[in-house]
Amino acid sequence: MIDRGGAKADSWMALRPGDDADARAIRLAELHRAVVGAGRDTEGTTRLHEEPNAVRPLVRESWLRSLRRSLDPDVIDQPALLGGTDFDNYRAQHATALIRPVVRKLLVEDAADSGLLIAISDERGRLLWIEGDHAARDRALTMSFAEGADWSEEHVGTNAPGTALALDRCVQIFGAEHYNRAVHEWSCSAATVHDPIDGRILGAVDITGGPRVAAPEVLQLVRATVAAAEAELRLIRLESPPSEPSAVTVLEAFGPGRAVLVRGRDRVTLSQRHAEILLLLSEHPEGLGTHRLAALLDENELDSVTVRVEISRLRKVLGPDILASRPYRLRAELRTDVAEVRAALDRGDLDSAVRRYTGRVLPRSYAPGVIDVGDELDTRIRGALLRRGSAPLLARWTASVHGRGDLAAWTAYLGCLDPESSLFAQVEAKIRVLDRNLAT
């Protein structure tokens, strides 16, 4: 059986028929202690590569991604937990709200007193609804598995809904396959939900519970539920065409010039403030209240009147139906080059990430929220280059404006070169100059 991505479908299953679940759990726990417990030490990651059959490939790669992000396997922190009216408004208007009746009919109605939880997330791993067994729901709170929590792989590490979204695949995670130890008593099966018209990911449907959730038939149940949900969504879409424009809009935020909004063949140059607002809203699809947006735009906080004026001006550029209020959020899809670079890094495509990263995000911006986005992206790209960059990639980086003075990158570049080559001598000379400049 072949999955959509060309991989064997059983590679996405945690347990095959006939597997000894208890023995498997013991082996996984031991491997988790050796690999994840070692953190980013060479010994842990080396063992993953030396024993390719010790853990499923999708779990091994997810653990490696989690280790590269330096996630703490003992902590699930949720500083950005959403709640209140803003969260209620966000999920009520999210596309997955349309499929919730189907999910409840097929999964939730039979989950009472079963020890199972049924969760629906948005496209970025935010848990929008969690229903099912009340006792299980209370226990899950101890690991911050709660409505409004961020369960993306980027934030929590290996888990079914987060990893399914990262790979755009149906995924099962069994016990200690989870990156975080707090989740080891749980197993989960999840599948991504797509817009049936344009194919984009809308979110994920997840079943969480005990070891039996790792059985193949549970994954098949989740996939069947998602198929029914997407069919229902197609009918809704066809009967009620969306009022907002369907064309994808792209924000180009890299490089020294002013940011550009691309819509079809049109390219609109944005003011600095409008570019900052759009970038921040794209980073917070759940929406931002006036005061929070003001704080992200200016460390001294803009007054609410100024924010409303800028939003009003931005609506004239975008059109009246693109920006919603209370909280401010995007109604139509907005892709950004920032998200494209992140996606390339997530799938291990460092070449595409470096090629796409043509300069710091909105380099003239002093907005705290924008600076945080830029710092996070710089750190991820540079860290990936220092860990596994090749000579061509390091050459491109050290020739760029953000890499010219990067001594560590130049040193890594030197390590990729033939000591007998003339290029080695040139790079060595550059390192001496940087050393001398840093010493003064």
CATH number of the domain that residue 72 is part of: 3.30.450.40
Q: What is the pLDDT of residue 285?
A: 86
User: Once rounded to an integer, what is the mean pLDDT over residues 213-229?
Assistant: 91
Query: Could you give the C-alpha distances from 305 to 234, 278, 302, 308, in angstroms and in order?
Result: 41, 18, 8, 5
> Looking at the domain assignment, is residue 369 inside a domain?
yes
The DSSP 8-state label assigned to residue 183 in this structure reads G
Of the candidates 206, 239, 272, which is a domain's last residue? 239
Q: What is the pLDDT of residue 214?
A: 84
Quick one: CA dihedral 384, 390, 394, 396, positive or negative? negative
234 residue type, one letter: R
Strands 127-132 and 171-174: unpaired
Within 10 A of 201 (CB to CB), how many other CB atoms are there? 15
Q: What is the pLDDT of residue 6?
A: 38
> Looking at the domain assignment, is residue 208 inside a domain?
yes
**Same domain, yes or no, for 103 and 72?**
yes
186 residue type, one letter: W
Question: Would the pLDDT of 257 be above 80?
Answer: no
- DSSP string over 304-319: HHHHHHHHHHHHHHH-
Q: What is the pLDDT of residue 273?
A: 93
Structure tokens at 35: 């690999």
> Looking at the domain assignment, is residue 1 inside a domain?
no
CA dist 183 and 140 (Å) reads 9
User: Once rounded to an integer, what is the mean pLDDT over residues 395-403?
Assistant: 81
**Same domain, yes or no, for 199 and 255?**
no
Q: What is the pLDDT of residue 69?
A: 86
Query: Who wins on pLDDT, 325 or 373?
Result: 373
**Same domain, yes or no, for 35 and 145?**
yes
% of residues, the chain, pLDDT over 90: 30
CA dist 34 and 49 (Å) reads 13
Nearest partner of 190 among 215, 159, 217, 231, judged by Cα: 159
> Looking at the domain assignment, is residue 4 inside a domain?
no
Lowest average pLDDT, out of 1-15, 71-85, 363-377, goes to 1-15
Within 10 A of 248 (CB to CB), how many other CB atoms are there? 14
Instruction: Residue count of the chain, please give it.
Output: 440
> Looking at the domain assignment, is residue 370 inside a domain?
yes
Instruction: Assign 64 to helix, strand or coil.
Output: helix
CA dist 381 and 379 (Å) reads 6
- DSSP string over 72-113: -TT----TT---HHHHHHHHHHSGGGGTHHHHHHHTGGG-TT
Could you report the per-residue pLDDT of 321-350, keeping only the tens digit for each? 788 888 888 888 888 989 888 888 887 788
What is the domain-level CATH number for residue 327? 1.10.10.10
**Same domain, yes or no, for 133 and 274?**
no
Structural domain for 279, as ranges: 243-388
pTM: 0.61
Of the candidates 200, 220, 239, which is a domain's last residue? 239
Q: What is the pLDDT of residue 122?
A: 92
**Same domain, yes or no, for 47 and 160?**
yes
| pLDDT band (50, 70, 90) for residue 68 | confident
Mean pLDDT taken over the chain: 84
Torsion of CA 110, 10, 183, 147, to 10 degrees: -50
Sole residue written with tokens 């040193």: 411
**Same domain, yes or no, for 53 and 177?**
yes
Could you report the per-residue pLDDT of 46-66, keeping only the tens digit for each? 666 666 667 888 998 999 889
- Number of structural domains (the chain) is 3
